[in-house]
Structure 1
Amino acid sequence: MLAPDAFDDWSTAVPDWKDRVREGRSLFPALPLHDPYAEKALKIFKGLRAPDLDGFPTYGEICDEWVFDLVRVIFGSFDPEIKRRYLREFFVMIPKKNGKTAIAAAIIVTACILNMSPAAQFILIAPSIDLARNAFDQAAGIIKRTPRIKPLFGDPQESTRTIRNLNPKIPSKIMIKAADDDIVTGLKNATVLIDETHVFAKKPAAKGIFLEIRGALSHPQNKHFLLQITTQSKKPPVGVFRSEVQTARAVRDGKLARPLLALIYELPLDMVKDGGWKNEDTWPLVNPHLNRSVDLGFLRDQVRTAEEEGEEALSLVASQHFNVEIGTGQGDDGWAAQLYWDGGADETLTLETLLERSYVCTIGVDGGGDDDLCGLVVLGKEIGTGRYLAWCKAWAQPSVLKRRKAIAPALETFAKDGDLTLCKEAFQHVAEVVEIVAQVAATGKMPEEYAVGLDKAGLPELQTELELDGFVEPFITAVQQGWRLQSAIRSLPLRLKAKLMLHAAQPIFAWSVGNARVEIVRSNQYIDKALAGAAKIDVVIALLNAAQLMFNNPEPSGRGLDEFLANPVTAF
């Protein structure tokens, strides 16, 4: 374990990254690199030749300074005299066409040449078999076209995508793997490069492989490293990939201390909103190889074509070519709340603090079938400001994970967050919704009438259970769906924009909002589950239900739960 002073010396935090991105400055922190070793590695790297370009130019000729800085940090964070590695992981998120695979192949060849560990493996994991072949051809081609290093390696074995280092004293090998379930085992003596983590992370074995890699890297005598080079996900980040991105951002922001360098080429959120990423002036800020491997005309064509094709195509271009995280506000049929959702986050907000800060609360509930989620939102009106405060909870039957495999990783992640419960019993969600209603009602901050809004057609058991517990109409009420929700559909985005609504910064809330799609029929706006497809929006519908009730300007009953149940409001 590093001594505290050494660890501080190797902090990779870049808390001013937003300013650096805006100004086009380097995103690398100042580090006490072992310069002789860093320069030795860089000399080798720069001398390698690109096999897929006319004239086979060297990497020193085709790469920009940011690549050289990356190579310096990777190898300069290893002390060859005491054989100690100070930075074990490197996370690079960069848009497509910036040379990810070519750079990864050259780095792995460089690492293999400098290897000091007998029987070491240098493994590059590509997202598919085709891309694994491409990566293998790149590595083999580098060796073939660089005369100085060609004698160091044996003939590339295409059938196994293996290239052996012929050093008799320190034998090692380069292996190119596809992102299959059985990718790698026995990682005690391996450097691993993962190309396109967002694809690799979808594999069922991904979590276990990361654990094995990191377990090996934690050894005191470790000389190896893990390098991830990826674009943004084509969908809202979930599961293993979301965890990797969150960790990298936290290290970059100085919120988390890890022996990891995070190099993330992304725009600050305020530059992304309202389609700001489409401003060509921002493109070089996140495409550091613009006018080298990235063509400006190509990017223009991609954006223009996507604008003609619609929201889905535009989202894809934004994520893949400009590292815009899906769900941060691009597109033409997404709910307008997506534009302002991140700006309304309040990480201090929990159910308990919401109840403390609010003088009146309503609750919305939606869903709850065997192939569905059940979503609940508590909406408070803040004392003194009148701002809306929103907190959510969701439930799912385990069968949803099997039937909706596309969203299963997301649901499992939300369960770990504590915002979603995977029910062990068929009506566990009903019992727990009633418990939350009772908890909020006990504060005396719910109105006498129209306090809990739900779609009765989908939740008959919930209505029955609420009535058995003394919560009867009109305390509970049906909220009309479809176009009748448009008051909330139109109003809540404006409240978010004006900072008159805050939410509890729950990932499942953001995911649900990102899934919501708006359809306009005869000037009426709809948010319909059919538009969202397999993606779930039950939490959004619950929010709309709660908001419709809050629009009635309710007043708190002032009665605690015992008094309320002793004298329930009854409709005649």
Structure 2
Amino acid sequence: MLVRTEVLPRFACPDWWEKIQSGETPMADVPLNEKKAAKVLAFFNRLRLPDVSGNPPMSIACGDWFKDLLCAFLASEDPETHRELVWELLCMVPKKNSKSTYVAALALTALYMEEAPNRQMLLVGPSQNISERLFGQAQGMINLDEKLKSIFKVQEHLKTITRLKTGTALDVKTFDTSIVTGEIPVLTIVDELHELGKKAKALKVMQQIRGGGITMQRGKVLMITTQSDETPAGIWKSELEKARKIRDGQGGKSPIMLPILYEFPEAMQREKTYWRDKRNWPLILPNLGLSIDEQALEDDYDNNGRVSKEAEQIWASQHLNIEIGVGLGGSSWSGATHWEDAVCPDLTLDTLLEQSEVCTIGVDWGGADDLAALAVIGRRKTDKVWLAWAHAWARPSVFEQREKISPQLRDFEAAGHLSVVQTGEQQAAAAAEICARVRDAGLLPEVAGIGLDSAGIALFFDALAELEMEDPLVQAVKQGWALQTAHQTLPLKLESKRLLHGNQPLLNWAVGNAKQELVRNNYMVTKEASGSAKIDPLMALLDAAMLMLNNPEAAPRKNINDFLANPVMVV
């Protein structure tokens, strides 16, 4: 047996998967104040489930995994300094593991344990229905115990529970930008954090809540959630990535967040035959046999989860914490099935240009409230494989008009795959500059090297003309059924790995959004079929593909080394 001798960073748990397989809680060992932990457990265990026949107490109705979480969060203590260690905790656990009921009980326990007078605690749900359920569970637990009625005052109209001895109040709220009004809570519990990834201003509110973490009366934050039923975005994406880094020992020496993540390793999530095997499900369902009936879960999958690929995608994300990528979806573009397996690691525009013998460019333009996207396809010199890269632009009005997707767009901006510009002229100039890069590298054909959807391209056409790129180099690409050849060819090239991409989140997102419809006798991706979901980078890629299908040859090439020594920045 291998014995670890290295000193791990705080809260690192490199053997988390081994712990899950052996039925343990996938968390690092946290030193506790044993006396405080015993008091926490004693109070928590007496609480009773208000919505279960017989109202069983938490001592028998709650899984050990949550009691481990409870003690670590409320009773951690550094044995040398005697200060608390866990100031934040992120738990991801599949649906129906009683997380909402348990956190309501944890909130009451924290309220009982808090001795500071007249402070504020928050229990936050992402929607009114969830916040009302949280309050209802906490209120129901109090109503079942005469002793608790003398400890807490419940104000149903305010959704507030106050400990009479201290005056400290637990406010149950629905998440919005006004939930924190000046006072920094000593404790905040956020249920279904993944839903906040869909809210544009969630990060700002969480930063305000976390402001209490640097005061003398420090504030604690507990976040509990299932996986998202969409690609992780915004605050959910950043918090999940941070938690995984801490768990894997890459989050610094002294993080304050304790991660507890019930999920399969990434490779197993990608292997559909693994997670579809029902024998593997119990591994990440810590409440199996308590709040989850195994046969009922299997029946639900067989009757509801398997009715379509799209239904299975949502079911697996909620019940098995499978992170949504682009490999599933009922009416998804057929190329999406092979997209994740067609990655060329570390592919950038620079490396694409270095490796290519010829390139074509596709552009899908947009108005003030829409994205503009450009895609480059390069035909690799060594084996004729197509290499794909994309970039997009947005004006500030996009974030106002399309608030639902603004967290994803900000993620792409931070990653360098989307640029925010103030005017249409700046947008056009930036895209034209990339076209000039490819031309100056000697990689564009003399005819039909840049393909445009002709709608709304006046500014971009002018910017190209200023850089001496006009007809016949610049061509309009017919849309709709006329893109049929690209629609049919790209999935086949992806399947055979004759089309590779750099795993750009922006392009992955567009592919994941794409829906296809039957046009005449062929299935095709159209903006109409995809609805409000943005697919502009994929449409630009289809335009570039139509030109590459002409089997072009590059115009006389300039010195590539001189060109690469002076790259033009994407703005």
> 1: CA distance between counterparts of 2:348 and 2:506?
14
Following superposition, the deviation at residue 516 of structure 1 comes to 0.5
Per-residue Cα deviation, 1:197-247 (whole angstroms, up to 9, x for no partner): 23345445522221122221133x455421111123333333233322232
C-alpha change, 1:23 and 1:559, in structure 2 (3 Å) is farther
Gaps of 5+ in 2: 1-5, 564-571
> 2: CA distance between counterparts of 1:292 and 1:130?
24
> 2: CA distance between counterparts of 1:10 and 1:118?
35
User: How is 1:439-450 mapped onto 2 (pairs within 5 angstroms)?
Assistant: 439-450=437-448
Q: Does the 8 Å CA contact 1:273/1:330 hold for their aligned counterparts?
A: no
| Corresponding residue of 2:3 | none
User: Equivalent of 2:390, from 380, 389, 392?
Assistant: 392
TM-score (norm 2): 0.86
| Corresponding residue of 2:350 | 352
2:257 is equivalent to residue 260 of structure 1: yes
| Corresponding residue of 2:285 | 287
2:150 is equivalent to residue 159 of structure 1: no
| Corresponding residue of 1:380 | 378
2:195 is equivalent to residue 199 of structure 1: yes
Per-residue Cα deviation, 1:24-60 (whole angstroms, up to 9, x for no partner): 6542223444444334423432332222222221212
Which letter maps to 1:242? Answer: K
> 2: CA distance between counterparts of 1:247 and 1:496?
32
User: Equivalent of 2:186, from 187, 190, 207?
Assistant: 190
Following superposition, the deviation at residue 64 of structure 1 comes to 2.0
Q: Does the 8 Å CA contact 2:159/2:172 hold for their aligned counterparts?
A: yes
C-alpha change, 1:554 and 1:536, in structure 2 (3 Å) is same
> 2: CA distance between counterparts of 1:497 and 1:50?
51
> 2: CA distance between counterparts of 1:347 and 1:17?
27
Following superposition, the deviation at residue 103 of structure 1 comes to 0.9
Following superposition, the deviation at residue 80 of structure 1 comes to 9.2
Q: Does the 8 Å CA contact 1:414/1:508 hold for their aligned counterparts?
A: yes
2:64 is equivalent to residue 65 of structure 1: yes
Q: Any idea what SS the aligned residue of 2:140 has? A: helix
| Corresponding residue of 1:333 | 331
| Corresponding residue of 1:237 | 232
User: Equivalent of 1:213, from 203, 209, 215?
Assistant: 209
> 2: CA distance between counterparts of 1:479 and 1:21?
53
> 1: CA distance between counterparts of 2:357 and 2:340?
25
Gaps of 5+ in 1: 1-6, 565-572
C-alpha change, 1:300 and 1:553, in structure 2 (3 Å) is same
User: Equivalent of 2:172, from 170, 176, 180?
Assistant: 176
> 1: CA distance between counterparts of 2:120 and 2:343?
44
| Corresponding residue of 1:510 | 508
Following superposition, the deviation at residue 527 of structure 1 comes to 0.6
Q: Any idea what SS the aligned residue of 2:393 has? A: strand
Which letter maps to 2:210? Answer: R
Following superposition, the deviation at residue 23 of structure 1 comes to 6.9
Which letter maps to 1:172? Answer: T
Q: Any idea what SS the aligned residue of 1:400 has? A: helix
Following superposition, the deviation at residue 456 of structure 1 comes to 2.7
Q: Does the 8 Å CA contact 1:126/1:196 hold for their aligned counterparts?
A: yes
| Corresponding residue of 2:246 | 251
| Corresponding residue of 1:470 | 468
**How many equivalent pairs are there?**
554
> 1: CA distance between counterparts of 2:307 and 2:516?
17
> 2: CA distance between counterparts of 1:406 and 1:294?
33
> 2: CA distance between counterparts of 1:23 and 1:489?
47
Following superposition, the deviation at residue 350 of structure 1 comes to 2.7
Following superposition, the deviation at residue 370 of structure 1 comes to 3.6
Structure 1 window deviating more from structure 2 (245-254 vs 32-41): it is: 32-41
TM-score (norm 1): 0.86
Which letter maps to 2:480? Answer: G
Structure 1 window deviating more from structure 2 (477-486 vs 285-294): it is: 477-486
| Corresponding residue of 1:3 | none
Which letter maps to 1:243? Answer: S
Q: Any idea what SS the aligned residue of 1:363 has? A: strand
Q: Any idea what SS the aligned residue of 1:456 has? A: coil
Q: Does the 8 Å CA contact 1:85/1:222 hold for their aligned counterparts?
A: no
C-alpha change, 1:34 and 1:485, in structure 2 (3 Å) is farther
**What is the RMSD of the two structures over their aligned residues, measured on CA atoms?**
3.2
Which letter maps to 2:91? Answer: V
C-alpha change, 1:14 and 1:390, in structure 2 (3 Å) is farther
| Corresponding residue of 1:559 | 557
